[in-house]
Every structure is written in C-alpha cells, then in structure tokens.
A and B are shown apart, each in its own frame.
Chain A
Amino acid sequence: MRDDDLAVLPLHVVASAIAERRLSPVEVVDALLARVERVEPRLHTYVHLDADAARASARRAEQAVTGGGHLGPLHGIPVSLKDVFHHGPTRAGSLAPLPRHAGGESAVASQLERAGAIIVGKAATYEFALGAQTSSGPYEPTRNPWNPALDAGGSSSGSAAGVAASLAYASLGSDTAGSGRYPAAACGVVGLKPTYDLVDRDGLVPLSWSFDHPAVLARCIADAGRVLAAHLPPGATEGLLSIDRDIAGVRLGVPRSLFAASCEPAVLEVFEAACLRLRELGATVEDVELRTDATDVAAAMWPILLAEMAAAHHEGLQDPAAAYGRQVRSTMEAGYLVSGVDYLRAQQLRRTIASELEAALATVDQLVLPTSSARPGAVLDTPPATDEYASGENVSVYTAIANLTGGPAVTLPCGFAPDGLPLGLQLLGPLGGEVALLRTAAAFEAAMGWYPHYATLPHAAT
C-alpha cells in the first residue's frame, strides 16, 4: 500500500487493522511521517514535530501488539495535539508567558497515550486560542488544504487542517466559543465539543475557564466517537466505539432565531438541503421556538470571555515586556473594562439562555443549524480588526451557545460553498447527549458519502 493510501484511511479502520495484526504501527507512523514531510511545508499545521519520538513509540506499540497484551482504542495511531495542551514544548502559539501551571502533562495527553495513541506533534493555534484565524503569533499561518491561499479557520487551525490533509489521523483541539467546530467546518472535518468537563481540562492553557472545552477533530464520526471514548472511563464508552445509524423518529429542531438574520443565502441553501436529507433518513425536522438570538449569545458570552481571559493572563499582562501579539494583548486588556457587576449580569443571562435552550430541547431531541455563515478569507499578515471580534456577527455566533450552556455539539461536512470550501452542519444536544448526537451525525454522514473527498483534496493529495 502506498504511503498516501494508508495515511488517508479512517482512524477506526487503521486501529482495527493494527489490532488484527494486518498493519504494523511502524508502517502506519512511517507512512504518515512521509506524507507530513511532503505536504506540511505547504500547510503549516504543526508548530512542533518529533518524528524520532514518534518512531520510537511506534516500535514500542508494535512490540505490544506482538506481545498480545491489552490494546487501547487508539493503539499505534498517530495523532496531533493542539499547542494549548501541556505536553512537551508548549507555547500556546505565543511568545508571551503562559499562565502558571501546576506542572506535568495535560490530562488529554496522558489519556491519549494510555489509549495507545502516538502524539506526533503539537498543532498550530491562534495565539492563546483567542482568534478564529491563524495570522497572529510567531508562526507561519496554517493554510486551508482545500485552497492554500485561504486561512484554515481557528483557533484549532493546525488540528483541523492537519486532520483534513491526512497529516494526523485525529487531533485534540480546544473549543471556547467554536474554536474546534469552526475550523473543522472550514476544513471539511468533524469537530466534536463534548459536554463541559466530560473531558478533563487539566493542563489546558486557560483562555476562559467556564467556556474552555477540549474538542475532538476527526475525519469521520466513527473516528470522533473512538477518540472521545479514549478520554472517558472504561464504563462510560457505550455507544461510542460502534455508532448506530438509525435515526427513524428522531426529532430535530431548527432554532432559526440563532441564525436566520445573519446566514448567507448560499449557506442557507446547503443547510436546507441537509435538513431534507435528514428527513429522508426518517428524522422529523421542524422549526423550534427559541427566544435566544445571536445578540443575546454575544451579550452573555463577551463580558465573561473578556473578564476570564484577563484574569487568567493577569500576571503576564502586567509585564510590559511580555511578548503578546498586539491584537491579543489589547483584546485581553479589554477584560479590565468589564466590571464585577457586568460579569455577574452576563452569568445571569447565561443561565437564562441555558433555561431557554433546555426548554427547546424538551420538545425535540436535538437542534440542527449551520456551523457558521462565515468562511475563512485570504491568509492575512495582520489580525482582523477588533470590531469584527465584538460585533456579534463574527464566526462564533452559531457555535458559542453550546459553550454558554455546556451541552455537546458536533459539526460535520454537509456540502460546499460557492468558493469551494466545505460547509458544516451543526447538531446540539442536551448535557450528556453525545451518543445520540453522534448517531444522528453518523446517519447523515453515511447518506452524504463524504469520506472519499479526503483522498482527492486538491492541495494536499500529492
């Protein structure tokens, strides 16, 4: 099998082949690294790569297979880890000091390695995961595998672009307001933000403690379920390692108040076609009443986000010499404008929104909406203007509600925009509703027949 043929296979297929001794972890890692060597210089998905360590881990993984011992769900699988998780050299995409950390590995890195995964390197991120593009910070911007003139989306840009271009079989990113799901949608991969605190945040460089979530980026729903399972206790993985696709009778609600006013017609057209496909699969898809709109989400999110990031980075921000990017420093310093009263009022609104969403989810099983109406623009030399962040019209408008409530959300590809970039379909569920959410997503994915696109990505396939 050619290196590329092996590198583009789904994670769960490779994991099964390794467990059944049809593939060796050494073969898998060598194939992936060969592809990284060729493709990475064009896309810049990694900020740190340790090929020697990966090959050594692969040899150990191979010995474990031949030894006949217990193999974890990711045994021998090369993955990447966003540079906001403590593991090896960790800079969170910045030259500024990190908030103080108790030390040691991040929980997700330890869990990946316990599951048998081989962490090949650290994936690129917008500085401190604060932006939806990749142009901030000291590194080359990550480019979109579908069109390298365009940005990959952020902040988990290296994770999403790397998974899409088959430079990692999966990646652990983070999602504070959509930082996992937005780049996933922009790069045509799956982005799963599990329920708040379901995956341990220990060792995740904080941006906003009450919004930060580890997120799974994967090439398909089966892979995302398997990676999530690797982060859960053994008794909590039922329905994740083998995902049912029967969604007959599942009730899906469309919360138009969140997106109707701002969604581009071309995105809406693809979304409506996706809803039609879901109906054909046996789900009911009806509009659902939700009082919360995009301005409510922004009004709850921004004061909390700004205040928490200023508090998390307070010590660094006091040092005039700390090398934050200008945009990042000024955005973080805006947190000092938020009073204690503003913060608490935003938390009150957050609970009101959570109650309204809970009421909507009492009438349907899941909500379905576009992942974003925005799409990445050209790779920039300078960060976007602040008013694009704070206007309430930015890329996080459709995703941030799940960070407010803490409920699970998943994005998966549902078609293409006129500019040729993929578009994402987003599903939201109640707290702890990951299995049901992935079932709906898996049914849709199978009906779409999306997976073969990875082998034909125009700018990453050769």
Chain B
Amino acid sequence: MSAAVDEDGVAHILTGAGLVRPRTELQQLAVYAAALEKWRDIHASRIAPGEEPFHVGRGGLRPPAAA
C-alpha cells in the first residue's frame, strides 16, 4: 500500500489491488496507521524477554491460543 497526493493536494491511498481509495477511506486507514504506532510502542515495552511468537511442537505450528 502506498499513499499519493493528487494535483489538488488531496491525499489518496493506492492499495495492493491498484485501487485508489477516496480521501475519507484514507482517513479511516490513517486511524489504524496511527493506532499501529501506539501498538508498536506497547509491544516494545510489554513483550516478556525471550518470548516466542508461536509454539512449534509435535502438532506442528500452533497459535498461542492452542499452544
């Protein structure tokens, strides 16, 4: 995904599908982009030392809920 500004200075976003989304939807995505920055900060401060993202056991790769 990438952002683009049109000749009128209006921001748009180019999705993986090649879709140019209107500004309102860009604003919605911007909410998530801003939230993601906040979540990254929380990841940095809260992940326990040595934590692994998945459990890989005899049953194969399992998400934490089933590990």
Is there contact, CB below 8 Å, between A352 and B54? no
Counting chain A CB atoms within 10 Å of each CB, the highest count among B17, B42, B48, B64 belongs to B64
Contact with A along B1-45 (1 / 0, CB 8 A): 100000000000001111101000100110111011011101100
Is there contact, CB below 8 Å, between B63 and A347? yes
Contact with B along A194-214 (1 / 0, CB 8 A): 001100000000000111000
| Complex CA–CA separation, A331 to B40 (angstroms) | 19
B57 is an interface residue with CB less than 8 A from chain A: no
A42 is an interface residue with CB less than 8 A from chain B: no
Is there contact, CB below 8 Å, between B29 and A334? yes
A390 is an interface residue with CB less than 8 A from chain B: yes
Is there contact, CB below 8 Å, between A320 and B19? yes
In the bound complex, residues from chain A placing their C-beta under 8 Å from that of B40 are: 342, 345
Chain B residue, CB-CB nearest to A356: B48
When the two chains form the complex, which single residue of B21, B33, B48 contacts A337, counting CB atoms closer than 8 Å? B33
When the two chains form the complex, which single residue of A210, A334, A345, A354 contacts B43, counting CB atoms closer than 8 Å? A345
Contact with B along A377-406 (1 / 0, CB 8 A): 000000001110011100000000001111
Q: For the side of the interface on B, what is the size category?
A: 20 to 34
What are 5 A-B pairs at a CB distance below 8 A? A306-B32, A317-B15, A345-B53, A348-B43, A354-B64
When the two chains form the complex, which single residue of A333, A337, A348 contacts B36, counting CB atoms closer than 8 Å? A337
A52 is an interface residue with CB less than 8 A from chain B: no
Q: A312 to chain B: closest CB distance in Å?
A: 14
| Complex CA–CA separation, A437 to B44 (angstroms) | 34
Contact with A along B53-67 (1 / 0, CB 8 A): 110000000011111
Is there contact, CB below 8 Å, between A302 and B39? yes
Q: A95 to chain B: closest CB distance in Å?
A: 18
Is there contact, CB below 8 Å, between A348 and B1? no
Is there contact, CB below 8 Å, between A336 and B15? yes
In the bound complex, residues from chain A placing their C-beta under 8 Å from that of B42 are: 295-296, 299, 349
A344 is an interface residue with CB less than 8 A from chain B: yes
Is there contact, CB below 8 Å, between A302 and B47? no
When the two chains form the complex, which single residue of A209, A299, A387, A404 contacts B38, counting CB atoms closer than 8 Å? A299
| Complex CA–CA separation, A403 to B35 (angstroms) | 20
- Given A298-B39, A345-B47, A386-B32: A333 touches B15 (CB 8 Å cut-off): yes
Counting chain B CB atoms within 10 Å of each CB, the highest count among A296, A331, A345, A405 belongs to A345
In the bound complex, residues from chain B placing their C-beta under 8 Å from that of A387 are: 31
| Complex CA–CA separation, A81 to B38 (angstroms) | 38
Is there contact, CB below 8 Å, between B46 and A352? yes
Is there contact, CB below 8 Å, between B53 and A347? yes
A137 is an interface residue with CB less than 8 A from chain B: no
A319 is an interface residue with CB less than 8 A from chain B: yes
- Given A337-B29, A406-B65: A352 touches B47 (CB 8 Å cut-off): yes
| Complex CA–CA separation, A326 to B33 (angstroms) | 18
In the bound complex, residues from chain A placing their C-beta under 8 Å from that of B1 are: 333, 336-337
Is there contact, CB below 8 Å, between A348 and B66? no
| Complex CA–CA separation, A224 to B20 (angstroms) | 47
| Complex CA–CA separation, A385 to B21 (angstroms) | 17
Counting chain A CB atoms within 10 Å of each CB, the highest count among B18, B21, B31, B33 belongs to B31
Chain A residue, CB-CB nearest to B47: A348
A355 is an interface residue with CB less than 8 A from chain B: yes
Is there contact, CB below 8 Å, between A299 and B17? no
Chain B residue, CB-CB nearest to A403: B65
Is there contact, CB below 8 Å, between A320 and B64? no
